[in-house]
Amino acid sequence: MLGPRLPALRAEYPDGRLFSFAAHDLMYAAVFLFGEYEPAESAAVRRLLRPGDLVVDVGANIGWFSLLMGSCVGAQGCVIAIEPTPPIRRQLEANLRDNPSLNIRLLPFAVGASAAVAEMHLFEGLPHGHASLANLDRDDDVSFDVKVMRLDGLIEPKGAVPALVKVDVEGSEMGVLEGAEALLCSPSPPIWVLEVNHETSSAFGYAPDALLATLRTYHDYRTFRLFEGKLSPEMNPRTAPHGATWLCVPAAHDERVAALTRIVHQPPAARAAEAEDTDTSS
């Protein structure tokens, strides 16, 4: 009730991050209500990343995960935030300006299997997080011409292989992997964070489990399913529910797997109350 009456909302965090979003942006309502967006996925990022890491956020949107990653990797690390959609990117740029101490590099491209120019679609009836290179058979879209680049072409000039690549591109995840052959062939390939989206992947002609099959043609990845705050080894990718997140960890980063074992969905207020109860009981 209060949100729509405010021009904008800003969350401030103990690590110094500032995250702003429009009050009418229901996609990030959880930040206003609980202080955090996608708590379980955020917990996974915190546990997997280390100071000094190079990280890539493909489909950075307005920057929640890019800022979080930046706080995790520190001044010696670097986050490459990739966001092609102009109105979304402007909000991301504002959030980056509010966090000048974070080492985040913004690239204004879509990512795909080959260099091209394509249309990025925003939908009047969907949150801006559903922006896609496909129109998803909808008639309420507004399109923007965007430049598409291969991930290999964007990362190779940096001279380092990312520790983690998060991909949230509403169905074109396969194109991202197809344009990342050099990264995948590396002796120490990145951890991949992938969304399970049956609806949008079908618009590009594949099922989500094909993403894991593609990764495994290069390396032996251990895959975990994160869904409704619960983490478990992925036993059957074909049954992964819509909206789940896959954490795909190669052997080169196997020592980070132990950090994933206690990820539980809890709003920050609940975690604080639990800690207070523990202190009282002790």
Position 58 pLDDT exceeds 90? yes
Specify if 6 maps to a domain. Answer: no
Backbone angles phi, psi at 86, to 5 degrees: -50, -50
Q: Is the torsion defined by CA of 235, 42, 135, 171 positive or negative?
A: negative
Do residues 130 and 172 lie in contact, with contact meaning Cβ atoms separated by under 8 Å? no
135 — pLDDT class (breaks 50, 70, 90):
confident
DSSP the chain: --GGGSSEEEEE-TTS-EEEEETT-GGGHHHHHHS-SSHHHHHHHHHH--TT-EEEEES-TTSHHHHHHHHHHTTTSEEEEE---HHHHHHHHHHHHT-TTS-EEEE--EE-SS-EEEEEEEETTS-GGG-BSS-TT-SSEEEEEEEEE-HHHHHGGGTS--SEEEE--TTTHHHHHHT-HHHHHSSSPPEEEEE--HHHHHHTT--THHHHHHHHTTS-EEEEEEETTEEEE-S-GGGPPTT-EEEEEEGGGGGGGGGGTT-----HHHHHHHHHHHHHH-
Specify if 20 maps to a domain. Answer: no
User: Looking at the DSSP assignment, which residues form a beta bridge with residue 104?
Assistant: 79
How far is residue 119 from each of residues 1, 195, 240, 270, measured CA to CA in Å? 36, 21, 29, 42
Position 69 pLDDT exceeds 90? yes
- In angstroms, rounded to a whole number, what is the distance separating the alpha carbons of residues 123 and 138? 8
269 — pLDDT class (breaks 50, 70, 90):
very low
* Confidence (pLDDT) at 265: 46
Write out pLDDT tens, residues 78-115: 999 999 999 999 999 999 999 999 999 999 999 999 99
* Confidence (pLDDT) at 2: 59
Specify if 80 maps to a domain. Answer: yes
**Contacts for 268 with CB less than 8 Å, ≥ 6 apart:** 34, 35, 36, 39
Write out pLDDT tens, residues 216-263: 999 999 999 999 989 999 999 999 999 999 999 999 999 998 888 766
* Confidence (pLDDT) at 279: 39
Position 274 pLDDT exceeds 50? no
Domains held by the chain: number = 1
Specify if 216 maps to a domain. Answer: yes
* First-residue to last-residue Cα distance in the chain: 40
Specify if 70 maps to a domain. Answer: yes
Query: Residue 138: which domain range?
Result: 38-281
Specify if 32 maps to a domain. Answer: no
CATH number of the domain encompassing residue 52:
3.40.50.150
Position 277 pLDDT exceeds 50? no
Q: Chain-wide mean pLDDT for the chain? A: 88
Write out pLDDT tens, residues 143-191: 899 999 999 999 865 568 999 999 999 889 999 999 999 999 999 999 9
Position 200 pLDDT exceeds 80? yes
